[in-house]
Chain A
Amino acid sequence: SQTIHQWPATLVQPVGSPLSLECTVEGTSNPNLYWYRQAAGRGLQLLFYSVGIGQISSEVPQNLSASRPQDRQFILSSKKLLLSDSGFYLCAWSGQGSYTGELFFGEGSRLTVL
C-alpha cells in the first residue's frame, strides 16, 4: 500500500534562518507531488506541484522553493524565513497523469517563525 511521510512534524525557527521540510512517498511510482500551506484559520494554498523529477511548478511567488531530487522525494526549502511563513505545511501525492485523482496527504509540518 502507498504511504506518505513528511518531517519534521513541528518546527520553531527564528526569522532569517533556513528551512528544509522533507516528504517521501512509498508504494507508488512517478506520483504527482504537491506542497500546500494552511495559514492559521485559513484554507489550503497550493505552493508547488511536480509531475516528475526536476519538474517544479510554482503557484505563488515567495521566498520558498521546492525540489524533487528523486522520484518519490519532495523538499520544501527557504534560505531565509519570514514571519509570514508560519503555518501548517502539507505534502500530498496523486496518481500520475492528471489532477483527476484524489490527493493523499502527509501528516503535516507545523512551522512557527519567531
Chain B
Amino acid sequence: AQKVTQAQTEISVVEKEDVTLDCVYETRDTTYYLFWYKQPPSGELVFLIRRNSFDEQNEISGRYSWNFQKSTSSFNFTITASQVVDSAVYFCALSGNNDMRFGAGTRLTVKP
C-alpha cells in the first residue's frame, strides 16, 4: 500500500529564516511520482512540483528547493529566506498505478 508521512504537523518561523518540510513515502511501485502542493488560506490547492522515481536530481526554483533521496524514501522541501506569503499548509503526495495519496500536511506559519 502507498503511504505518505509528513511528521511535522505545524512549523512556525520568523521571516527570512530557512525552513525544511519533511516527507517520507512508502510504495511497492517501481515507477511513481512525487508531488508538493501548497494550500493557502483560500483553500484551493496549488501544484508546486512533480518528480518521477527515476529522476533524483534536486531542483531549485527561486526560493524553493526539493531534495529527493530514493535511498531514504524522502522528498523534502526547503524554503529559503521565508516570507509571510509562504504561510500555508503544504502537502506531499505520491502517485503510482492507481491513485494519488496525500500526506496529512504541514502547516507553516511565517511571522513578520
Binding site for B on A (CB under 8 A): 34, 36, 42-44, 46, 49, 59, 88, 90, 92, 94, 98-108, 110
Contacts and interface: CB of A to CB of B under 8 A. Distances in A.
B52 A100 contact: yes
Contacts of B102: 36, 43-44, 46
Given A42-B104, A43-B104, A99 B99 contact: yes
A106 B39 CA distance: 12
A104 B46 CA distance: 8
Contacts of A43: 6, 91, 102-105
19 contacts: A34-B100, A42-B104, A42-B105, A43-B91, A43-B104, A43-B105, A44-B91, A44-B105, A46-B100, A46-B101, A92-B45, A99-B100, A100-B33, A100-B95, A102-B50, A103-B37, A103-B100, A105-B45, A107-B44
A97 B100 CA distance: 13
A36 B100 CA distance: 10
Contacts of A90: 45
Kindly list the 10 A-B residue pairs having the minimum CB-CB distance in the complex, ordered from nearest: A43-B104, A44-B102, A99-B95, A105-B45, A108-B43, A102-B47, A43-B105, A100-B33, A107-B44, A43-B102
Contacts of B35: 102-103
A107 to B, nearest CB: 5
Given A43-B91, A46-B99, A99-B95, A107 B43 contact: yes
Contacts of A106: 44
B111 to A, nearest CB: 20
B71 interface: no
